[in-house]
Amino acid sequence: MIPSAFPPSEEMARLTAGMLLEVGAVHLNAETPFTLASGLPSPTYIDCRKLISYPRIRSVLMDFLTVTVLRGAGFEAFDTVAGGETAGIPFAALVAERMGLPMIYVRKKPKGYGRNARIEGVMAEGDRVLLIEDLTTDGGSKLSFVDAIRDTGATCAHTAVIFSYGIFPETEKTLGDHGVSLHHLCTWWDVLEAARISRVFSESTLAEVESFLRAPRAWQAARQAE
């Protein structure tokens, strides 16, 4: 069921950041950086998959995500909800349930046998599809899913995530140039503020994380040169 009332975006961002910290989805390590999917180092890592194991939190967040999309795109903007393999699939199912819409999921690549399909589920030509994933960094990984949806004759002009890094200026441009609008609940800036309030991490770690957030490419280049 679609939630009928919801807090302002800023409050949803604050609450989402707090929930991510509460379930241990936020990992910060300035001394031994994590390696992102891009191969680049980062003192931050977030694991939104943990949220599926917390029923109360995932329910609130899916309400937040649903109303954020409907507020940004319109209440009658979609015919189908798609989840990106694999992290997007459970969240897409939960959002589709709230919107009262069919759900499909999109494989990262054809499965290599049978129909060799990338789209699983039923979707009609001309359907307006909302793509759901757990997070986005620079937006690039979403394009393959969007193209797979469009290749069927459907349209995909919106993607929604729980978490957007919010530090790479090319993210919205990359998606926008592809005709896709991004909807999200919170960013690293929201998490950093919540982490300072909760005092889960040391101030020295948070200072190094802030340095990364303010100039991520320079921070990564310096660490790669070490």
- Taking only the tens place, the pLDDT of each residue in 24-74 is 999 999 888 998 877 888 999 999 999 999 999 999 999 999 999 999 999
Do 135 and 163 form a contact (C-beta atoms < 8 A)? yes
Beta strand 44-46 with 26-28: parallel, antiparallel or unpaired?
Answer: antiparallel
| Helix or strand run (H / E) with residue 119 | strand 119-120
pTM: 0.93
Residues 6+ apart with CB under 8 A from 31: none
CA distances to 27, 29, 75, 193 from 32, in Å: 11, 6, 45, 22
Strand partners, 41: 35
- Please give the average per-residue pLDDT across 173-191, as a whole number: 96
Give me the chain's average pLDDT, please: 93
Per-residue pLDDT band for 114 (boundaries 50, 70, 90) equals low
What is the percentage of the chain residues whose pLDDT exceeds 90?
79
What domains, with CATH codes, occur in the chain?
Answer: 9-225 (3.40.50.2020)
30-60 exposure pattern, b = at least 16 Cβ within 10 A, e = fewer: beebeeeeeebbbbbebbbeebbeeeebbeb
- Please give the average per-residue pLDDT across 192-208, as a whole number: 94
